[in-house]
Amino acid sequence: MIEQFIFEFFAAIGTIAFAVSGAFKGIRHRLDVLGVLVLAFVTAIGGGLVRDALLHRTPAVFIDIWPALFALVGCLLALLSNMLSKERILSWTNPESRTFLILDAIGLAAFTVTGAKLGAVSGLNIFGIILLAAITGVGGGVIRDMLVGEIPLVLNADFYATATLIGGFVFGVLYMYNFATPWPSILSFIVTLSLRLLAIWRGWKLPVL
Amino acid sequence: MIEQFIFEFFAAIGTIAFAVSGAFKGIRHRLDVLGVLVLAFVTAIGGGLVRDALLHRTPAVFIDIWPALFALVGCLLALLSNMLSKERILSWTNPESRTFLILDAIGLAAFTVTGAKLGAVSGLNIFGIILLAAITGVGGGVIRDMLVGEIPLVLNADFYATATLIGGFVFGVLYMYNFATPWPSILSFIVTLSLRLLAIWRGWKLPVL
Amino acid sequence: MIEQFIFEFFAAIGTIAFAVSGAFKGIRHRLDVLGVLVLAFVTAIGGGLVRDALLHRTPAVFIDIWPALFALVGCLLALLSNMLSKERILSWTNPESRTFLILDAIGLAAFTVTGAKLGAVSGLNIFGIILLAAITGVGGGVIRDMLVGEIPLVLNADFYATATLIGGFVFGVLYMYNFATPWPSILSFIVTLSLRLLAIWRGWKLPVL
């Protein structure tokens, strides 16, 4: 129970952080208020929507109202931060700031575990588990970038989706070898988060061919 | 029964108008005949397809053949209008014309109600109802714009998706407070249509941040 | 049984060829290793994922591991071919080569039949059958092109999706008139493949309006 609560807390952080990154991208592209709102929501909940469509579940966000509220909080934070940018208040919401990247990494790891877990309990193969982890973790960001006509960041920058894929793989393997709950979740979370934080810290990039 | 018939009539108008706008966008981007056809269909039925995937229903358009036929009619109208553009026949099909915008607004309102209603009877929360209304109303147009590499119109222009969101909200609230059928549909339709027509008439735009 | 095996063989060729085309597009856009891998997988299995989401089936690729492995083979082939490009080894994997186009056409025909068949056994109307054939056949390529910010090739070049649409139509009509299995599949496959090969050979293009 306690680990369930901690994961939901991390997922809430992730939802807020993802919404912030979407809203900032909308502001930078000079979208109107609605466009900013849409980009915030798409980034925060888009990956989960695609995942749920593939698993033919009713999207979690349509039943449980909290993620939508967290996304709204993230959107408002970004708007506020943008208005106050001269005073450098809320500067941690800036998607380039170190603090933001860490919050975003926590969200990425939490989303990865959520996706992998749903895939595993649906009886998918290891490829399905990894793919659902990745879609949950980075799918929202991909749709966000496509909406504003950019090549999705995860395709050509940083060590970001790779952390998710490895985290999903860890979950899948542990689950298949019958590790007791919640160990697959905890280890997958730690691996994803550590890899992403290392990547931020060391400036890891994947090679271009 | 009679209101059911009227809604289907409005939805048919919307399907045709949406297909016209998709076909014209394809023509303007110098796509080939197939590309124009695809853009017409995507605009007319794409929102419904995404909505049905999220609700894990078999897409309505795969069971009932009429929407596909209406989309085809819209596509042919646009092609004809494009051929006859010198003679100004069929000028009402021009997506910038006042007449077209009104027909498009009727379609938007009808699609909004369809989406909200499906969300409500599926037991979704208010956020789900609003989101399905919006996806049904503007999802096709968003895919259309993404396919030709434009930032979706609804994100940075006009008071368009906002009308849908408010219409979906109206439906959701009335439904939750147990207003008798068909009142949520009728009032949501009227609100969406009125807001959109007012926006066209007064040139409403949302502020850019 | 034997025809089932042959179709799976053709579908495997298609999965590999589609992955090759995705990987090469990623390389040409200077994506990193992960981006190339994603583009390969999206092209090879993206159409099937969208189709399965619309039919609310668990994606085939999440149950059966083979398509993912074939996609991986295609991706590795493309990377190898890119490294060896000076020596012209593996030159048949070049998406512009005649050999590659033929393999790609076989895949297109096999994917078309798979999509049409799933639509037919789900009880869809002729429009649904054709649309699912097209989504399975060209959906992956459309997502691939959208991810790198290009207007999807099928919208404005070549006689490609048209072959799929006609193949899907052939399947639907034969199925509705109760032709015995596997005749709808075989004839639909032959029609799609022949049209596509003729189009390559004769340089067919659709008119631009």
Mean pLDDT of B102-107: 92
Which C-chain residues 108-127 have CB contacts (< 8 A) with chain B? 119, 122-127
Chain A neighbors (3+ CB pairs < 8 Å): B, C
pLDDT digits 0-9 by tens, B115-124: 999 999 999 9
Least confident of B134-148, C32-46, C194-208: C194-208
How many secondary structure helices (H) and strands (E) does chain A include?
A: 9, 0
CA distance A101 to A80: 19
Q: Show the DSSP H helices in B177-204 as ranges.
A: 183-202
Give the per-residue pLDDT at B95.
Answer: 76
At residue C87, does pLDDT exceed 70? Answer: no
Give the per-residue pLDDT at A69.
Answer: 95
Give the per-residue pLDDT at B170.
Answer: 97
Structural domain boundaries in chain A: 2-202
CA distance A77 to A36: 12
- Report which of residues C83 and C134 the model is more confident about: C134
Least confident of A83-87, A168-172, B3-7, C33-37: A83-87
Phi, psi of A52 (to 5 degrees): -70, -35
Name the average pLDDT for chain A. 90
Whether A64 sits inside 8 A of B150 (CB atoms) is no
CA distance C7 to C110: 6
Contacts with B53 from chain A: Cβ below 8 Å: 53
Whether A32 sits inside 8 A of B146 (CB atoms) is no
pLDDT over 70, % of chain A: 97
* Confidence grade of residue C89 (pLDDT, cut at 50, 70, 90): low
Residue identified by tokens 């033929």 is C102
* Confidence grade of residue B203 (pLDDT, cut at 50, 70, 90): confident
Cβ neighbours around A2 below 10 Å, total: 7
- ipTM greater than cut 0.85: yes
Give the chain A residue nearest B56 (alpha carbons). Answer: A56
* Confidence grade of residue B87 (pLDDT, cut at 50, 70, 90): low
At residue B190, does pLDDT exceed 90? Answer: yes
Whether C131 sits inside 8 A of B35 (CB atoms) is no
At position C134, the amino acid (one-letter code) is A
How far apart, in Å, are the Cα atoms of C61 and each of A63, B34, B45, C50?
28, 29, 26, 12
State the SS3 of chain C: CHHHHHHHHHHHHHHHHHHHHHHHHHHHCCCEHHHHHHHHHHHHHHHHHHHHHHCCCCCHHHHCCHHHHHHHHHHHHHHHHHHCHHHCCCHHHCCCCHHHHHHHHHHHHHHHHHHHHHHHHCCCCHHHHHHHHHHHHHHHHHHHHHHCCCCCHHHHCCCCHHHHHHHHHHHHHHHHCCCCCCHHHHHHHHHHHHHHHHHHHHCCCCCEC
Chain B neighbors (3+ CB pairs < 8 Å): A, C
Query: Would you state the structure tokens that stand for residue A111, as one six-digit string?
Result: 């989303």
The region that residue C27 occupies, defined by phi over 0 for left and psi between -120 and 50 for alpha, beta otherwise, is: alpha
Mean pLDDT of C131-146: 95
DSSP-based three-state secondary structure for A65 = coil
Closest CA relative to residue B193, chosen from B74, B107, B96: B107
Give the per-residue pLDDT at A170.
Answer: 97
At residue A152, does pLDDT exceed 70? Answer: yes
pLDDT over 90, % of chain B: 71
Mean pLDDT of B185-195: 95
Query: Would you state the structure tokens that stand for residue C12, as one six-digit string?
Result: 């495997």
Give the chain C residue nearest B144 (alpha carbons). Answer: C151
CA distance A159 to A165: 11
Which A-chain residues 39-98 have CB contacts (< 8 A) with chain B? 39, 49, 52-53, 56-59, 61-65, 68, 79, 82
- Are A96 and A173 in contact by the 8 Å Cβ rule? The answer is no
Closest CA relative to residue A108, chosen from A206, A191, A204, A25: A191
Residue identified by tokens 């466009």 is A35
Cβ neighbours around C178 below 10 Å, total: 7
